[in-house]
């Protein structure tokens, strides 16, 4: 994996690979970064485009200290672009690299012996100050191969965005005064897939739907995988997820390797620039990779479209796949937001599905457990 900083997107990760224990590293993503962040206020009076107007890089990308980063601080020359002026750049410590505890990875007890391990996670993060808000751009790589892109927001409530309307703000001062305006943090990540290398990628949508039939003990559901052959936008539903697979690359069980896109909590949104476009309110979009389709909205190269609805409009066949993952957080301010504001998080998870034939780090004694073992796993050796 490599990292770099762009004036608009801030942190960009390139050539992301994962090496399960005892296996060679598998290429997963050609690149991963933010594609847009909009903050529209419920009053209708203001929207900021924090990536394309202000930028997460340049001067907005803040230098870190061991207080923010107990791990390793990494420096890079950050060109001095910012909201105010353009000057020279200097090498500054902007990237935090740390290994953090990810909690219990597994526990499996048999015959009085518990096989248990915690998991390590590699975490990369940067901090960008945009106006009154300070954003943490964070990517967490689990030892299980999972990847968790997240955006944290702290700093302070904008002093310019108070309202008298109780439907559009929450009082954060004494009594009913000082209603800080509600607003959304609408983020879109851009993931350029390269499972086993660029191209040859296939996108599928999984749905499990109740049939209405009840078996003797439980309701009966039908699970289906549907191929998404062309560029399109998709929306969330219960028990729905998507995966990017590479049919030409199979694990030892003969299953195509894939990664699953799991949306966490999200308030589905339309970016303000997409208003009125068909398919503007998407949760995930899949487009064929293009070097000039960089931002989810306000994309500056108009020949390639202004944003995601334009990128998918010609329904090209998917092969070299970019996924646009949209996660919205509606922020109703509360007294505790002052001051400073406690960090709030939004994001999603990429989970390996059949990258290897068993878990990525099989502990001793479980090597033979692969499929229906007709009994207790530890006794089947
Ligand atoms: Cu907020």
- Which of 299, 345, 329 lies closest to 35 in space, CA to CA? 299
CA of residue 200 relative to chain centroid, distance: 23
What are 40-45's contacts with CB under 8 Å, separation 24+?
Answer: 40/183, 40/184, 40/186, 40/272, 41/161, 41/168, 41/181, 41/182, 41/183, 42/168, 42/169, 42/181, 42/182, 42/183, 42/184, 43/161, 43/163, 43/165, 43/168, 43/169, 43/181, 45/161, 45/181
Cα of 186 vs centre of ligand 1, distance in Å, is: 10
Q: Which of 348, 272, 266 is nearest to 39 (CA)?
A: 272
Q: What is the mean pLDDT of residues 60-73?
A: 96
How many angstroms separate the alpha carbon of residue 183 from the centre of ligand 1? 6
176: left (phi over 0), alpha (psi -120 to 50) or beta: alpha
CA 226 to mean position of chain CA atoms: 23
Distance CA 170, CA 5 (A): 36
Q: How much distance in Å is there from the Cα of 272 to the middle of ligand 1?
A: 17
Strands 113-130 and 284-288: unpaired
For residue 99, the CA-to-ligand 1 centroid distance in Å is: 28
Q: Report the separation in Å between the CA atom of 184 and the middle of ligand 1, taken as the mean of its atom positions.
A: 6
Cα(374) to ligand 1 centroid in Å equals 52
pLDDT of the residue at 87: 60
What integer is the mean pLDDT of 238-257?
96
User: Where are the chain's structural domains?
Assistant: 2-108+129-368
Distances (CA, A) of 33 to 30, 148, 296, 322: 11, 12, 11, 11
Whole-Å CA distances, 325 to 32, 104, 229, 256: 11, 28, 18, 23
Residue closest to 327 by CA, chosen among 307, 348, 308: 348
* Separation of CA 140 and ligand 1 centre (Å): 22
Rounded to a whole number, what is the distance in angstroms from the first to the last CA of the chain? Answer: 37
**ipTM for the complex shown:** 0.99
Residue 318 binned pLDDT confidence (cut-offs 50, 70, 90): very high
Instruction: Calculate mean pLDDT across residues 283-295.
Output: 96
User: Ligand 1 center to residue 168 CA distance, Å?
Assistant: 13
What is the Å distance from ligand 1's center to 63 Cα? 23
Is it the case that residue 376 has pLDDT exceeding 70? no
Give dist(CA 234, CA 287) in Å, integer: 11
Separation of CA 330 and ligand 1 centre (Å): 8
pLDDT at 381 over 50: no
| Residue 22 pLDDT level (bands cut at 50, 70, 90) | confident
Q: How far is the CA of 333 from the centre of ligand 1 (A)?
A: 7
Q: Ligand 1 center to residue 157 CA distance, Å?
A: 7
Centroid of ligand 1 to alpha carbon of 111 (angstroms)? 51
At 303 the pLDDT is 85
Which pLDDT score, from 0 to 100, does residue 227 have?
98
Q: Higher-confidence residue: 93 or 377? A: 93
pLDDT band, very low/low/confident/very high, at 79 (cuts 50, 70, 90): confident
Q: How far is the CA of 67 from the centre of ligand 1 (A)?
A: 23
What's the CA-to-centroid distance between 194 and ligand 1, angstroms? 34
The per-residue DSSP string of 20-37 comes to -TTS--EEEEEEEEEEEE
How much distance in Å is there from the Cα of 129 to the middle of ligand 1?
13
Say how many Å lie between the CA of residue 40 and the centre of ligand 1. 10
- Measured in Å, residue 377 CA sits from the centre of ligand 1 at 48
CA of 182 to the centre of ligand 1 (A): 8
Percent of the chain past pLDDT 70, that is, above it, reads 96
Of the listed ranges 19-23, 82-86, 130-134, 375-379, the least confidently predicted one is: 82-86
Q: What is the mean pLDDT of residues 271-287?
A: 93
Say which CATH topology domain 2-108+129-368 has.
Beta-galactosidase; Chain A, domain 5 (2.70.98)
170 Cα–ligand 1 center, Å = 12
Three-state SS at 302: helix
Average pLDDT of every residue of the chain: 93
Lowest mean pLDDT among 217-221, 301-305, 373-377: 373-377
How high is the pLDDT of residue 379?
55
């Amino acid at each position: 994996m490599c990292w770099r900083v762009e004036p608009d997107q801030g942190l960009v990760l390139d050539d992301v690979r994962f090496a399960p224990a005892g296996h060679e590293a598998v290429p997963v993503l050609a690149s991963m970064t933010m594609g847009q962040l909009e903050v529209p206020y419920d009053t209708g009076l203001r929207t900021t485009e924090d990536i394309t107007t202000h930028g997460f890089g340049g001067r907005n990308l803040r230098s870190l200290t061991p207080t923010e980063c107990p791990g390793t601080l990494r420096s890079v020359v950050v060109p001095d672009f910012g909201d105010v002026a353009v000057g020279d750049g200097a090498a500054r410590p902007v990237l935090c690299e740390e290994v953090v505890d990810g909690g219990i990875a597994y526990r499996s007890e048999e015959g009085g012996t518990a096989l248990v391990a915690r998991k390590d996670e590699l975490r990369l993060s940067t901090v960008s100050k945009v106006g009154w808000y300070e954003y943490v751009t964070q990517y967490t790589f689990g030892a299980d191969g999972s990847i968790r892109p997240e955006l944290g927001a702290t700093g302070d409530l904008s002093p310019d965005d108070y309202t008298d309307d109780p439907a559009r703000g929450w009082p954060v001062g004494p009594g009913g005064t000082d209603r800080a305006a509600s607003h959304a943090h609408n983020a879109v990540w851009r993931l350029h897939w390269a499972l086993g290398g660029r191209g040859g990628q296939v996108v599928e949508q999984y749905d499990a739907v109740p049939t209405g039939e009840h078996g003797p003990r439980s309701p009966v559901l039908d699970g289906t995988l549907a191929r998404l052959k062309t560029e399109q936008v998709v929306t969330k539903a219960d028990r729905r997820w998507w995966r990017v697979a590479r049919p030409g690359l199979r694990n030892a069980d003969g299953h195509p390797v894939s990664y699953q896109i799991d949306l966490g909590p999200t308030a589905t949104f339309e970016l303000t620039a997409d208003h009125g476009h068909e398919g503007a309110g998407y949760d995930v979009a899949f487009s064929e990779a293009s070097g000039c389709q960089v931002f989810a909205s306000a994309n500056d190269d108009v020949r390639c479209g202004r944003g995601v609805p334009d990128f998918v409009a010609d329904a090209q066949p998917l092969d070299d796949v970019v996924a646009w993952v949209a996660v919205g957080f509606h922020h109703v301010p509360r007294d505790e937001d002052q001051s400073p504001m406690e960090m709030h998080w939004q994001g999603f998870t990429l989970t390996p599905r059949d990258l290897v034939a068993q878990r990525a780090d099989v502990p001793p004694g479980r090597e033979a457990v692969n499929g229906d073992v007709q009994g207790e796993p530890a006794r089947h050796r």
